[in-house]
Chain A
Amino acid sequence: MRSILPVLTVVAVIVALWYAAAVAMNATWVRDQAARAGTEVSFQELVPRTLAQDRPVLPAPHQVAKGLWDGWAGQAVTSRRSLVYHAWITLSATLVGFGIGTGLGILLAVGIIHNRAMDQSVMPWAIASQTIPILAIAPMIIVVMNSIGVSGLLPKAIISAYLSFFPVVVGMVTGLRSPDRMQLDLLSTYNASRSQTFWKLRLPASMPYLFASLKVGIAASLVGAIVGELPTGAVAGLGARLLQGSYYGQTIQIWAALFTAAIVAAALVGIVGAVQAVVLKRMGMAR
């Protein structure tokens, strides 16, 4: 807890820099307006005007906070202007995709550690795929699924699943292989079957690795769902809010959507972290 003061200091410095940048970047517009009206603006007049524009180049923190508050609490939850509505659309696709990707990833990892041929043929590709910008295929998946009549949540969920799949595979294979020779030998002196070894040794031993990949995977899933919303023509979801905002120059809307996405991401990673802490503690593996 001794890091609270330093963290607050850093956050305060960031907010201060942000205000300074907002004044500096929005000043041009204010000066242009003044020059058009044939007046001069003093510095005292300049500052409040730069912080209260409708479409600033960089909205000030309090404007973003107001945008967030309007989006979260100022609307009915079902309204299309509510950020809760858009966040829920993105979150549902993220969670469905994350579930599919994690499930398939764990299954493939189990297959890989029990089958030598699968290990040698699939594993190098799974590792290599981590270096590829997979997100680039997102627009194609959306449009192709649309053309065969599937739209809505599922295409986005597929992109999310795809992004969370490979981290889980790689992490789980490492985790399921983490028991050392001595532990495996002990189980074979007990005459344990393969499935007993799996359930009583390999699976419990893989938990720390699983949770580490789940944290990476759920963050990647959210990014996948957001990017998946871009090519559909900005219908609904946080990605759509970003795109609409950039079409119409609504900077406050962009920043509010961005912060909503950040809050959702932080909450998701936090939940995974909390589950990790509880599970590892119950299993006696907490460090």
Chain B
Amino acid sequence: MNLVLLALVFWVATLALNIRISHSRFSETRAGRLVVPAIFGLTVLVVWELMVRGLQVSPIILPPPTAIGARISTSLPVLWGDFVQTFVKGALTGWLIGCGAAVLTAIAIDRSPFLQRGLMPVGNFVAALPIVGIAPILVMWFGFDWQSKAAVVVVMVFFPVLVNTVAGLAATEAMQRDLMKTYSASYAQTLLKLRLPAAMPFIFNGLKIATTLALIGAIVAEFFGSPIRGMGFRISTEVGRLGLDMVWAEITVAALAGSAFYGVVALVERGVTFWHPSQRRQR
């Protein structure tokens, strides 16, 4: 019981601290904006640990964070192997192929308003469907290894990126296109120097949505069959063996990989679309 009390005391104390900080000048600074969520995250972890130990929750229901941390540190090679299998081979390959194909398709249908009017409603429709369901079919076609996972990812990311790219290519104003015409620019020049750069904020929006979809697709596709490594495989088998600390370790890796992937794409976006108002430094 003491641990539970300690958890409550810790909770109230950090809550009071956070309220103090968020009403002070410090929270306006950059460090303050990082400290407050960090304290909150730490509180959740500490309260989780103390509650699990205090209430004697069975580790097959909820392992404490320290057990998860210990599991991560002892099974690094396994986690790395799963990461390479699922993320690098499955998700990343599929993401690259799918996004590349979507951007190229958008450019290919750019000259045909007829195709655009036909493809856009279909693309919007497909983007809202539960495409993960296609995983069992693609696993049948491409086998259990990473190729089928990459195929699922390709299908999942294609339509969101296509819809965003087509919208982006339409984003230039008539005035800007007229200017290019007065320069007697060819179609290719207009595309490369005006319309593609102007489409970049839209394309990157699609690419960022696709990062999350890619990881989800690669992990869920492994639930339908995989070789004996991979994050989705590990999660489903360890759940069956009630090794929940390993499951949480995989989820931690997946969360870190997902955030890092998103962060890298956002960084590239900042470099490419430095001119866009949303990227300017806020004062």
Contact = CB atoms under 8 A, between A and B. Distances in A.
B239 A143 contact: yes
Interface string B18-41: 110111000100000100110111
Given A3-B121, A131-B262, A136 B250 contact: yes
A113 interface: no
A265 B129 contact: yes
B119 A10 contact: yes
Contacts of A3: 117-118, 120-121
Contacts of A211: none
A265 B231 CA distance: 27
Contacts of A143: 239-240, 242
A6 B117 contact: yes
Contact of A265 (B23, B33, B128): B128
Contact of B37 (A120, A139, A226): A120
Contacts of A249: 140
Contacts of A245: 136
A125 interface: yes
A44 to B, nearest CB: 27
Interface string B206-229: 000001100110011001110000
A263 to B, nearest CB: 9
A139 B224 contact: no
Interface residues of A, number: 59
Contacts of B239: 139-140, 143, 231
Nearest to B215: A133
Contact of B140 (A6, A8, A140, A251): A251
A215 B128 contact: yes
Contacts of B235: 136, 139-140
Interface string B134-166: 101101110000000000000000000000000
Contact of B258 (A14, A121, A131, A144): A131
B231 A136 contact: yes
Nearest to B222: A136
Contacts of A266: 125, 128-129
Contacts of A230: 223-224
A230 B239 CA distance: 13
A67 B61 CA distance: 41
A262 B129 contact: yes
Contacts of A144: 60-62, 244
A120 to B, nearest CB: 4
A120 B250 contact: no
Contacts of B128: 215, 219, 265-266, 269
Interface in B239-272: 239-240, 242, 244, 247-248, 250-251, 254-255, 258-259, 261-263
Contacts of B119: 6, 10
Given A120-B36, A133-B219, A231-B223, A246 B244 contact: no
B132 interface: yes
B277 interface: no
Given A122-B40, A125-B40, A135 B220 contact: yes
A254 B15 CA distance: 50
B136 A246 contact: yes
A140 to B, nearest CB: 5
A128 B259 contact: yes
A57 interface: yes
A28 B36 CA distance: 62
B183 interface: no
B139 A265 contact: no
B258 A139 contact: no
Contacts of A125: 37, 40-41
B1 interface: no
Contacts of B225: 246
A120 B258 contact: no
19 contacts: A5-B118, A7-B118, A117-B19, A121-B39, A131-B212, A131-B259, A131-B262, A132-B254, A133-B216, A136-B254, A140-B244, A140-B247, A219-B128, A219-B129, A242-B133, A249-B140, A254-B136, A257-B133, A258-B133
Interface of B: 15, 18-19, 21-23, 27, 33, 36-37, 39-41, 60-62, 114-122, 125, 128-130, 132-134, 136-137, 139-141, 211-212, 215-216, 219-220, 223-225, 231-232, 235-236, 239-240, 242, 244, 247-248, 250-251, 254-255, 258-259, 261-263
Given A121-B39, A136-B235, A266-B129, 19 more contacts: A6-B117, A7-B117, A7-B122, A10-B119, A57-B140, A116-B27, A117-B21, A117-B36, A124-B33, A128-B259, A130-B212, A131-B261, A136-B231, A137-B251, A143-B240, A147-B242, A230-B224, A231-B239, A246-B137
